[in-house]
Amino acid sequence: MITIPLIYFALFVAVVLEGEVALIAGSVAAHSGHPDILYVAMVACLATLIVDWSFFFVGRFAGAKILKRFKKAEKQTVKVKKLLNKYPYLIMFFYRYLYGLRIITLLMMGISRFQVQKFLLLSFASIVTWTLVFSLLGFYLGELVKSWMAQFSYPGLILSVPVMVIFAFMILLLTGKRMLVKVSGKS
C-alpha cells in the first residue's frame, strides 16, 4: 500500500520534472479526497519555488557560461532579452506561463542583475498564483473526469481507451507536420 507521505514526495518530484501536468494530475486525484488538495497545492508551490529560485541564482552566478554552451537556445535568449528589456516586471510575474521559455527566462533574469528582493517577491506571487490556477483547474477537472467515467460501463471504458489513443496520435501527427513545415520554411 502506498503511504500518504510517499504520494506527496512523488508529487514533489513530478512537479520538479514536469510542472503543470504533474500539478493538474495531482489535483485531479485530490478530487477524490486523497491526496488533500491543500497539501497538493502546498507541495507544488514548494517544489516550484525551489526549482525557479535555483535557476535564477544559477543565472546570477553562471548563467552566461551556461547559455554560451547551448547554441540552440540563442534565438530564445534573444527573444527573452527583448521581452525583459521591454516589460521587465510583467515578465517577472508571468514567466511561469511562458512555456518553453521558462528556464531561459529565469537564467536571463539572474544574468541581467534584477534586484534579488524584487525577483523573490514577484516570483513568489507568480508561483502562488500559478499553483492556485492549475490546482483548481485540476481539481475541477476531476469532477468532469468523474462524471465522464460514470457514464461508461467497464467494457465501454476499455473500448474508449484505444479511441483516445488514436485521437491523440492524430493530433500529434497534425501538429508535428505543421511544426516541420514551419521549421523548414515551406508554406
Residue 130 has what pLDDT? Answer: 92
CB 139 within 8 A of CB 28: yes
* pLDDT tens string 92-129: 888 888 877 888 889 989 988 788 999 999 999 999 99
The alpha carbon dihedral of 12, 43, 101, 110 has a sign of negative
CB 84 within 8 A of CB 91: yes
Residue 171 has what pLDDT? Answer: 66
- How far is it, in rounded angstroms, from Cα 138 to Cα 141? 5
DSSP for 67-95, please give it. HHH-GGGHHHHHHHHHHHHH-HHHHHHHG
Q: What region does 7 belong to: left with phi over 0, alpha with psi -120 to 50, or beta?
A: alpha
Residue 160 has what pLDDT? Answer: 63
Residue 184 has what pLDDT? Answer: 45
Which residues of the chain, if any, have pLDDT below 50? 1, 179-184, 187
pTM assigned to the model: 0.73
